[in-house]
């Protein structure tokens, strides 16, 4: 939405210009064209009113001065215009249901089944394409019987491109299945049971390489406590910590007693978030131990070639991106059906939908982290059981940096060459620059190399590192986690700024205050998460599930949804229909967010249930 910026003065009215509302003629005449020019420089040439206080009632005359009349849409001919009873809106409902089942049920279930090499993955893939075919058939039939109400719509073209990407991934699956069938036919055992094990369940054929052929291998197996060697977590760390103690120092002690003393001395000094000690050249972290085991062939994962790992990672990223693409097409489909985002509404509409959608997805991913997703790489506020070079805060800072770097120059979209910068543009560019440089600071804080450079300040020019006791160089417990406040900072400042964003109408002001305060609440709760984890860092590889993150993720996702609702076109449509009620908007957003959280819980829980079936009963009891 092309937002206009006005000065809110509750006690003194700075200006009043006659634009469909009553104003003082003498005051407006005294201001003259110079003042109107200053308002144009401040607000730009888009829809705005020049009063200090926001308006309470929609002024249709003013709206039509800056925006073309709203044209009919698929929604109006299906549900509002005369003769709508003979329309075919039911086909569009069928289309939406089937496409949602395809991208938000079958696709996530298929991804989860692939992660455990389940034989039902093929069934999930078939259901995905079945739902897509039924949805496309309903849409095609609807278009045949309904006139084109949105010229230049790209919803259909983009949807077919996304399905084509999905087909390309399935083609790689088919190619990999064909290779398994050929290997099976060349093998000595051709029984139906062997076909089920080696072709359908994708088990390793006898006498073949353990490395899966092709890039369509399953995703890297997540942490499995039942497969973790006992000496790779605690005993190996204890042996490293007690490596300076010789058996001769305790000639009468039992080996178990020596191990217990070593555990007492250890105190979990080594961290997966950094590198053992700051300067100790012989200190090893758990990540290094695990990496050494992988290199020596004793680790959890088979050794793979570099290109194979790149191919597997790219395949997994593209497959998961299809879910995000499905959500984007859902938004574009709603816009096309309701006839929004046309003419000079388009820039503001895209800004609200894209940015609000980012916060929405960010909230769902944060809730998935709370549930335990990405615990295998230490992103669930736990100790990483594997070698992970990047923390979740680093990825958040990277995304924030990219967001700011791109939006810095995109804020001038719609401006003519040589136009002066308006106050609104300066406001938004300032937020984008904050994102850019705060993201850089966040990435720098997460860099292990930068941390070592910063830690070198503990030395003076005359001190010798060899004179400092090794215990004094051990990392503090806070190094076991990442405490990076900059992602929360930029989101909190953005929320506070947008809560104070001036608007034409009071309802628009209230909606912006609502989602701005929701983002600010996420920032406060994320800081509380860091506060409590700083006091008691996680000592387990299991997800710690801070309750502040459950609440923060909810506020973040709900704020992103209200962000999308605050589009100028939506708020004006609500005022025209008498639906300009902030409580209604909030309740709808909360209801949809709760529904989405249930979907997230189902997806994460279903994947966890599949993985638990591969573990031993003892491992299940330990994890529980």
The pLDDT confidence band at residue 495, using thresholds 50, 70 and 90, is very high
For the cut 70, the answer to whether the pLDDT of residue 34 exceeds it is no
For 301-339, write each residue's pLDDT tens digit.
455 578 888 888 899 999 999 999 999 999 999 999 999
Domain assignment present for 30? no
The confidence score (pLDDT) of residue 118 equals: 85
> Looking at the structure, do residues 419 and 314 belong to the same domain, yes or no?
no
Please, what sign has the CA dihedral across residues 450, 452, 457, 463? Answer: negative
> Looking at the structure, do residues 513 and 583 belong to the same domain, yes or no?
yes
Q: What value does the mean pLDDT take over residues 128-144?
A: 96
- Residue whose tokens read 């084509």: 164
Domain assignment present for 24? no
Domain assignment present for 489? yes
Least confident of 90-94, 196-200, 219-223, 616-620: 219-223
- Between 71 and 12, where is the model more confident? 71
Q: What DSSP state is assigned to residue 300?
A: S
pTM score: 0.76
Token pair of 602 as six digits: 């189902």
Q: 2 with 425: CB under 8 angstroms?
A: no
Domain assignment present for 298? no
> Looking at the structure, do residues 317 and 449 belong to the same domain, yes or no?
no
Residues 6 or more apart in contact with residue 212 via CB below 8 angstroms: 218, 308
The confidence score (pLDDT) of residue 615 equals: 66
> Looking at the structure, do residues 423 and 314 belong to the same domain, yes or no?
no
Q: 562 with 514: CB under 8 angstroms?
A: yes
Residues 6 or more apart in contact with residue 373 via CB below 8 angstroms: 365, 379, 380, 604
Buried b vs exposed e over 404-434: b needs ≥16 C-beta within 10 Å? bbebbeebeeeeeeeeeebbbbebbbebbeb
> Looking at the structure, do residues 403 and 332 belong to the same domain, yes or no?
no
Q: What value does the mean pLDDT take over residues 194-208?
A: 67
Token pair of 370 as six digits: 């709370």
**How many beta carbons lie within 10 A of that of residue 327, not counting itself?**
18
Least confident of 235-239, 413-417, 437-441, 538-542: 235-239
> Looking at the structure, do residues 312 and 394 belong to the same domain, yes or no?
no
Closest CA to 1 of 568, 602, 594: 568
Q: What value does the mean pLDDT take over residues 196-208?
A: 66
Domain assignment present for 262? no
Closest CA to 428 of 335, 347, 507: 347
For the cut 90, the answer to whether the pLDDT of residue 438 exceeds it is yes
> Looking at the structure, do residues 323 and 425 belong to the same domain, yes or no?
no
For the cut 80, the answer to whether the pLDDT of residue 62 exceeds it is yes
Closest CA to 603 of 309, 387, 320, 266: 320
Owning domain of residue 369: 345-457+478-617
**How many beta carbons lie within 10 A of that of residue 202, not counting itself?**
18
> Looking at the structure, do residues 434 and 331 belong to the same domain, yes or no?
no
Domain boundary residue, one of 339, 359, 391: 339
> Looking at the structure, do residues 311 and 390 belong to the same domain, yes or no?
no
How high is the mean pLDDT of the chain?
77
> Looking at the structure, do residues 377 and 441 belong to the same domain, yes or no?
yes
Domain assignment present for 44? no
Token pair of 549 as six digits: 């993150």
For 148-181, write each residue's pLDDT tens digit.
999 989 999 999 999 999 999 999 888 887 887 8
Q: 180 with 198: CB under 8 angstroms?
A: yes
Q: 102 with 159: CB under 8 angstroms?
A: no
- Residue whose tokens read 């929405």: 360
Q: What value does the mean pLDDT take over residues 91-101?
A: 97
Q: What value does the mean pLDDT take over residues 428-437?
A: 93
The enclosing H or E element of 318 equals helix 306-338
> Looking at the structure, do residues 184 and 312 belong to the same domain, yes or no?
yes
Domain assignment present for 388? yes
Q: Measured between alpha carbons, how far is 255 from 422 in angstroms, rounded to an integer?
A: 75
Q: Measured between alpha carbons, how far is 126 from 226 in angstroms, rounded to an integer?
A: 33
Domain boundary residue, one of 339, 357, 386: 339
The confidence score (pLDDT) of residue 425 equals: 86
Q: What value does the mean pLDDT take over residues 418-441?
A: 91
> Looking at the structure, do residues 525 and 600 belong to the same domain, yes or no?
yes
Domain assignment present for 613? yes
Domain count along the chain: 2
Q: 344 with 2: CB under 8 angstroms?
A: yes
Domain boundary residue, one of 339, 363, 398: 339
Q: What value does the mean pLDDT take over residues 199-212?
A: 59
């Amino acid at each position: 939405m092309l937002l206009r910026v006005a000065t809110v003065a509750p006690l003194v009215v700075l200006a009043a210009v006659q634009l469909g509302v009553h104003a003082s003629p003498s005051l407006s005449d005294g201001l003259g064209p110079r003042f109107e020019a200053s308002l144009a420089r401040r607000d730009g040439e888009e829809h705005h009113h020049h009063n200090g206080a926001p308006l309470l009632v929609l002024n249709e005359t003013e709206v039509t001065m800056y925006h073309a009349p709203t044209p009919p849409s698929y929604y109006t001919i299906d549900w509002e215009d005369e003769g709508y009873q003979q329309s075919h809106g039911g086909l569009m409902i069928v289309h939406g249901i089937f496409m949602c089942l395809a991208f938000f049920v079958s696709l996530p279930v298929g991804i989860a089944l692939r992660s455990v090499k389940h034989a039902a993955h093929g069934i999930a893939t078939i259901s995905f394409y079945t739902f897509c075919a039924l949805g496309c058939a309903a849409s095609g039939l609807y278009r045949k019987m309904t006139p084109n109400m949105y010229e230049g719509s790209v919803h259909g073209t983009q949807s077919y491109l996304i399905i084509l990407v999905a087909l390309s991934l399935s083609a790689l699956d088919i190619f990999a299945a064909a290779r398994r069938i050929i290997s099976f036919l060349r093998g000595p055992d051709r029984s139906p049971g062997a076909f089920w094990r080696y072709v359908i369940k994708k088990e390793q054929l006898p006498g073949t390489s353990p490395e899966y052929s092709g890039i369509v291998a399953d995703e890297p197996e997540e942490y499995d406590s039942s497969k973790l060697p006992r000496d790779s977590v605690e005993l190996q760390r204890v042996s490293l910590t007690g490596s300076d103690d010789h058996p001769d120092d305790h000639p009468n002690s039992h080996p178990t007693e020596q191990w217990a003393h070593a555990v007492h001395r250890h105190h979990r000094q080594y961290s997966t978030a950094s590198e053992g000690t700051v300067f100790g050249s012989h200190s090893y972290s758990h990540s290094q131990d695990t990496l050494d085991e992988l290199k020596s062939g004793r680790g959890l994962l088979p050794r793979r070639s570099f290109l194979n790992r790149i191919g597997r990672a790219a395949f997994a990223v593209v497959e998961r991106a299809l879910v995000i693409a499905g959500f984007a097409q859902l938004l574009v489909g709603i816009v096309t059906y309701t006839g929004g985002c046309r003419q000079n509404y388009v820039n503001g509409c895209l800004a609200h939908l894209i940015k609000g959608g980012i916060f929405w997805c960010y909230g769902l991913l944060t809730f998935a982290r709370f549930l335990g997703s990405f615990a295998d790489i230490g992103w669930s506020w736990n100790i990483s059981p594997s070698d992970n070079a990047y923390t979740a805060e680093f990825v958040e800072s990277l995304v924030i940096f990219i967001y700011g770097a791109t939006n810095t120059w995109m804020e001038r979209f719609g401006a003519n060459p040589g136009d002066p910068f308006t106050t609104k543009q300066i406001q938004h560019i300032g937020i984008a620059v904050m994102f850019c440089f705060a993201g850089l600071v966040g990435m720098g804080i997460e860099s292990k190399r930068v941390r070592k450079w910063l830690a070198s300040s503990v030395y003076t020019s005359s001190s010798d590192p060899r004179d400092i006791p090794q215990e004094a160089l051990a990392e503090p417990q806070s190094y076991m986690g990442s405490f990076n406040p900059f992602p929360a900072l930029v989101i909190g400042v953005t929320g506070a700024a947008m809560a104070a964003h001036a608007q034409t109408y009071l309802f628009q002001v209230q909606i912006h205050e609502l989602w701005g305060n929701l983002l600010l609440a996420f920032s406060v709760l994320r800081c509380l998460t860091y506060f409590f984890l700083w006091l008691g860092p996680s000592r387990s590889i299991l997800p710690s599930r801070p309750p502040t993150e459950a609440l923060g993720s909810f506020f973040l996702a709900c704020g992103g949804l209200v962000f999308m609702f605050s589009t100028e076109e939506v708020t004006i449509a609500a005022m025209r229909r008498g639906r300009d009620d902030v409580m209604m908007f909030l309740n709808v957003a909360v209801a949809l967010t709760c529904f989405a959280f249930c979907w997230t819980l189902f997806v994460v829980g279903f994947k966890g249930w599949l993985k638990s079936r591969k573990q031993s009963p003892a491992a299940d009891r330990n994890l529980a």
